[in-house]
Amino acid sequence: AEDIFGELFNEANNFYIRANSLQDRIDRLAVKVTQLDSTVEEVSLQDINMRKAFKSSTIQDQQVVSKNSTPNPVLEMYNKSDKPPPLDILSPYRDDKKDGLKFYTDPSYFFDLWKEKMLQDTEDKRKEKRRQKREKHKLNANRNHQVNVRKVRTRKEEWERMKMGKEFITEAKKLEQAEGMKEEKMLEGSHGSDLTDYSHPATPSHGHQHQQMPASYTSGDNQQHLLAANQVHEHAT
């Protein structure tokens, strides 16, 4: 127990020394930055290139779980512990050619797990970049080949108004219907005038009275045309 707590004290002391050293460096840098005057002290590009590259003197901790960094108490307990069973002698008889001892103990397990994780992250980033590149290419292609599609015109609104009643039809539609009726009236009147017998003088029309032609001068089809024309004329007046 004394050895274990002694190692913990040494680690804490080293950490305290490093923290104080870092604080001193920060204080010195803060003073230097506040005293620097950019208008007076000018540094040319040549002076910057002549300077040596910055190299940190801080040593990063590596292989913290290596055998050389193992504390003495832990090392003594490790030496006193029983050795793993000799499962490696069964490795030649395995069909998958794997080491039989690794199924009992594998010191490189965590390193292999970390390596797989890093490789998977790298592959995911590569796929993400490819996906973004494809989307950007598609977007540019769509912009270059943009097609203006004409809006589809339907008579849905007109039929919707008509099914509610004639009062919902716009004035323009009423005018179109009136003009159509006038044209139809003129056409039917021209057909009727062609069938008029000029041997008999036509009597003038008074008020709503209209000239009626004898049935002997018109055929069946012509009579229907004349009756329709008279009805249209009465409706218009």
Q: Is residue 157 in some structural domain?
A: no
In this prediction, residue 125 has a pLDDT band, given cuts at 50, 70 and 90, of very high
The pLDDT score that the predictor gives to residue 114 is: 92
DSSP state of 59: P
pLDDT tens for 224-233 read 555 555 554 5
For 215, residues 6+ apart whose C-beta sits below 8 A from its C-beta are 223
Picking from 120-129, 133-142, 192-201, which range would have the lowest pLDDT averaged per residue? 192-201
Q: Pick from 216, 166, 181, 210: which is nearest to 195 by CA?
A: 216
Query: Which residue in the block uniquely carries the two structure tokens 């229907």?
Result: 224
Q: Is residue 167 in some structural domain?
A: no
Q: Is residue 236 in some structural domain?
A: no
The pLDDT score that the predictor gives to residue 197 is: 47
Q: Is residue 6 in some structural domain?
A: yes
Judge whether residue 122 has pLDDT over 60: yes
The pLDDT score that the predictor gives to residue 182 is: 67
Handedness of CA 22, 26, 28, 32 (dihedral sign): positive
**What is the domain range of residue 16?**
1-51
Mean pLDDT value across the chain: 71
Higher pLDDT, 34 or 153: 34
The pLDDT score that the predictor gives to residue 184 is: 62
Say how many domains are in the chain.
1
Report H helices in 81-219. Answer: 109-144, 156-164, 171-194
Q: Is residue 138 in some structural domain?
A: no
Share of the chain above pLDDT 70, in %: 53
Q: Is 232 exposed, middle or buried (0-12, 13-18, 19+ CB in 10 A)?
A: middle
Q: Is residue 2 in some structural domain?
A: yes
Q: Is residue 12 in some structural domain?
A: yes
Q: Is residue 171 in some structural domain?
A: no
| Three-state secondary-structure class, residue 65 | coil
The pLDDT score that the predictor gives to residue 99 is: 85
- Taking the C-alpha atoms of residue 234 and residue 150, their distance in angstroms, rounded to an integer, is 45
Handedness of CA 102, 103, 109, 115 (dihedral sign): positive
Q: How far apart are the first and last CA of the chain?
A: 123
Picking from 5-14, 43-52, 221-230, which range would have the lowest pLDDT averaged per residue? 221-230
Judge whether residue 195 has pLDDT over 60: no
- Taking the C-alpha atoms of residue 226 and residue 211, their distance in angstroms, rounded to an integer, is 11
